[in-house]
Structure 1
């Protein structure tokens, strides 16, 4: 990006965003720091090393901004956060899907609501402490790439960014070789957050007990746990407490015939039923989603097969795959991804990010999956509209 821009630095109160803001100043930009207040009841957000949006974090961000010498503000985004992240999280789980609230927060808060407000106020870009890089090709098109330090790379959670959002995004830490170097730089700058632990887990679930938090929000209701044949093998107190691939906490009353452990294969919220089966039934031969976006230029002919890699979790390894855009059963376009080797334990609601080398090409929210042991034998894909997190058909 050009020097001398007006840049809004999103400051979470952590070491990464503090160093990113300082680097933006040294790059010659006019920088203003802002911390997002995401809850009007700060006690409902995690504190200390486990949080990212508390009063404690706001104070840490202000101290860093004062040290850098930039203006600092706190913006109340609590209503937008509740509607677009917290309520969405509840709705997705209630529908039997497995949401990623950090993806939704990046998509709808940091790079939609925040960027929109920043542009309205005359800023040219939003700067964050994410570990990712933006490059520009010979034609001037911006591309999102992995960070130099793959161990810290955060390009996956930024896969939801659109071409327009990339045009106004800045990631000063993208070329940094390690997090240790960022901490050392923070210490040299005199930032009190230099040794502050990283935030992790879901910020709006104070004690980390996701199933208990969901039970409090949506209630409990006894239902059946069945195997793939439909035989009842146990019971539960709410289907929302289960995710595809889960093994622990099933408390099955009837062991499998082969004595092997069983895993959650499917969640049927309308029936309040959980389907379990063997580990090999979690292998997925195909995933697809109609809610897809491109981060920069789209493939020239997306309807034709193109080679890529797919990543389905923030810390998962990318897997070689073939992708294409094709009509779904209703005629709407969807991104279909076929991994070269089956993926394991994928659930609708998760985000699949597509890479070509280090470049983030785009992403989709997974609507349906096809189990490897059912692919090619008359399996029928499960449509997203039935609200079921199914691994293939007939599970």
Structure 2
């Protein structure tokens, strides 16, 4: 296997463009690839121009950058693998009353596991992406570690907790501890088309950010069989909802009830077809249980130790006590309550030095 050959996953954005440029400058044999994982014909919601990750515009932008850098570029069709691993999971989670994080699944199953298979066929030792994450190797414990940048608001380690040691051993994050403005400056100096391209904000295959539209078009027979149910506030029925899959914990807008004060979705009961709402203080909780655990920088957590946890991408990591932890389940208790802990989202834990310890999918209590 060629130790100097690396496949760079080029999304058509500025980050992966600069990642490829930096690796070439370091003397690597760089091969750019763009993953075609979906199309608007399959997922709907097409804007006037296809500009999101994996869209036609993204593929063309990546190819343009590759031409400027003088590296080969290929488009790989991972549509079937993406649908099986990511889109089906996304739909199943919403139909179970949970709110999924498809980027976590995509990173593990598609951007690494599938891409590494392609790397093998091209005799490439490494894969690289434009993620803002720090990767190092702990020689004492013989383990690859992911570290959250100390001062980078663009840090993306939260979405990388599912990566295995095997995947990390063959990964390069060229941007490491760089800042976004530094990356854009490099792109401008190189004359890359993506230098000023805005960041993608939505989930790639729901480009219009309309999850209700997506679900209704994706599984119309199932959605049409989910009848309107009760909205309950403090034990009393105060209204009707349009279908439990169209709500998420902590949601305030679009509830269709007027109580003269802000209220929020507190619980989604898919089996009973009930949406329970509550006041602001009622969606504050300390305890979180997560399943489907993956340990990253450590091999275990011990009851009683203090870690720092995030419950969503935009969340700030705050102190929590480990109540219980094994290979399948972690139970932590935050020192101060968190707002709207949401089943289906990820619980990601760090130590005091910002190393990512472990992650898992938040479960119902």
Q: Is the contact between residue 45 and residue 53 of structure 1 (CA under 8 Å) also seen in structure 2?
A: no
Q: Please state if 1:277 is matched with 2:283.
A: no
Which secondary structure does the structure 2 equivalent of 1:5 belong to? strand
Distance verdict in 2 for CA 1:252–1:285, change over 3 Å: same
In 1, Cα distance between equivalents of 2:45 and 2:108: 20
In 2, Cα distance between equivalents of 1:311 and 1:106: 18
User: Which of 249, 256, 261 is matched with 1:251 structurally?
Assistant: 256
Deviation, 1:119, is 3.1
Greater CA deviation, 199-208 or 69-78? 199-208
Long gaps (5+) in structure 1: 369-381, 383-395
Superposition pairs for residues 1-395 of structure 1, below 5 Å?
4-41=3-40, 44=44, 51-139=52-140, 140-147=142-149, 149-176=151-178, 178-218=179-219, 219-220=223-224, 221-229=227-235, 231-252=236-257, 255=259, 259-299=260-300, 302-326=301-325, 333-356=328-351, 357-368=353-364, 382=365
- Describe the superposition over 1:333-378 as per-residue Cα deviations: whole angstroms up to 9, x where unpaired: 411111111111011101011011211111010112xxxxxxxxxx
Deviation, 1:122, is 2.5
Which secondary structure does the structure 1 equivalent of 2:7 belong to? strand
Long gaps (5+) in structure 2: none
Distance verdict in 2 for CA 1:333–1:32, change over 3 Å: closer
Deviation, 1:49, is 8.5
Q: Is the contact between residue 100 and residue 350 of structure 1 (CA under 8 Å) also seen in structure 2?
A: yes
Moved over 6 A (4+): none
In 2, Cα distance between equivalents of 1:118 and 1:4: 11
Q: Is the contact between residue 148 and residue 355 of structure 2 (CA under 8 Å) also seen in structure 1?
A: yes
Which secondary structure does the structure 2 equivalent of 1:340 belong to? strand
In 1, Cα distance between equivalents of 2:52 and 2:204: 5
Distance verdict in 2 for CA 1:95–1:72, change over 3 Å: same
Deviation, 1:136, is 2.1
Deviation, 1:41, is 4.4
How many equivalent pairs are there?
Answer: 355
Distance verdict in 2 for CA 1:305–1:136, change over 3 Å: same
Which secondary structure does the structure 2 equivalent of 1:341 belong to? strand
With the length of structure 2 as denominator, give the TM-score of the two structures: 0.91
Q: Is the contact between residue 46 and residue 203 of structure 1 (CA under 8 Å) also seen in structure 2?
A: no
